[in-house]
Amino acid sequence: MTHGTPPAGPPADPNLAPHLDRDFVGYGRTPPHADWPGGARLAINFVINYEEGSEYSIPDGDGFSEASLTESPDSPNGPGSRDLAAESMYEYGTRVGFWRLHRMFTERGLPVTVNACALALERNDEVAAAIRETEWDICCHGWRWVEHWTLSEDEEREHIRRAVASLERTTGARPLGWYCRHGPSVHTRRLVVEHGGFLYDSDSYADELPYWTRVNEQSHLVVPYSLATNDSKFSRNHFPTGDDYFNHVKDAVDLLWEEGAKTPRMMSCGLHLRLIGHPSRAAGLAKLLDYVAAKDGVWVTRRLDIARHWAARHPAG
């Protein structure tokens, strides 16, 4: 067997939009100093994903019942047959889980970002009212909780338009951030910029700091998200208990805090109401909230505040 340099592969597409070109370098060995408020070593953003009521379902004409990120993610019901168990697990998220997390964050005075699917909030006036009463920010999570890469460009453009208009009605303000389910289509970022009014999107997992990209000859801010410190691991049994969740995220907080003495970073903690909203898991979240609230040099903040800070302190070149 011989070892050598692998073939280079096909040349890059000269027609590829700059924001679709892959970047394996990023900030490299000299990331910018974030200069977080108060000299914080670490910015932490907790994100409630409000999806329940916008998932794929037979009543909404999709032909199957969504079961992702539930206690039984592999639905035994085939296409065309309603999975009433899965439907009720989603309903738990809005009937119980939301209010448990709402109490946990408001009692501690900690800010939250809501990744909101527009149709989901349309279907729960009481939750929409509760969000309006807080200072939480809204990041648009689409019109529905669907895979955007399966939509045509025109369909996706319409989903974005409907989502923004709907969230402005239900929350009283238009969303300034955007995040797709799992990942975007090749059109998403361009369509978000084309629609206008967005300060950032989070359709990337590529960094621990915000960064700028170019879309149609204009600068566009990306505030990366994370699936590493995300409660979605509960549904895959990577976090069997609330303590497993707490210890996993705590280790990330502690390491980033240590590194932050020289290079402050950010981290995202994604939360799903139908997962971490259950009591035993929420107990782990409560321990985490108390831990970060007591730790010096940690800025618990909204995603919008991170984006605004970065745009002001590290404007596009």
pLDDT, tens digit (0-9, with 9 covering 90-100), for 51-84: 999 999 999 999 999 999 999 888 888 888 999 9
**How large is the average pLDDT for residues 276-291?**
97
What is residue 239's predicted lDDT score, i.e. its pLDDT?
Answer: 87
What is residue 17's predicted lDDT score, i.e. its pLDDT?
Answer: 79
pLDDT over 70 (residue 41): yes
Select from 97, 92, 90, 102 the least CA-distant residue to 54: 90
pLDDT over 70 (residue 5): no
Q: How confident is the model at residue 3 (pLDDT cuts 50, 70, 90)?
A: very low
From the CA atom positions of the chain, what is the Rg in Å? 20
Yes or no: say if 116 and 140 are a contact pair by the CB < 8 Å rule: yes
Mean pLDDT taken over the chain = 94
pLDDT in tens, 179-238: 999 999 999 999 999 999 999 999 999 999 999 999 999 999 999 999 999 999 898 778
What is residue 255's predicted lDDT score, i.e. its pLDDT?
Answer: 98
What is residue 61's predicted lDDT score, i.e. its pLDDT?
Answer: 95
Helix (H, G, I), strand (E, B) or coil at 50: strand
Catalogue the E-assigned strands of 118-274.
137-140, 177-178, 200-201, 211-215, 218-222, 265-272
What is residue 256's predicted lDDT score, i.e. its pLDDT?
Answer: 98
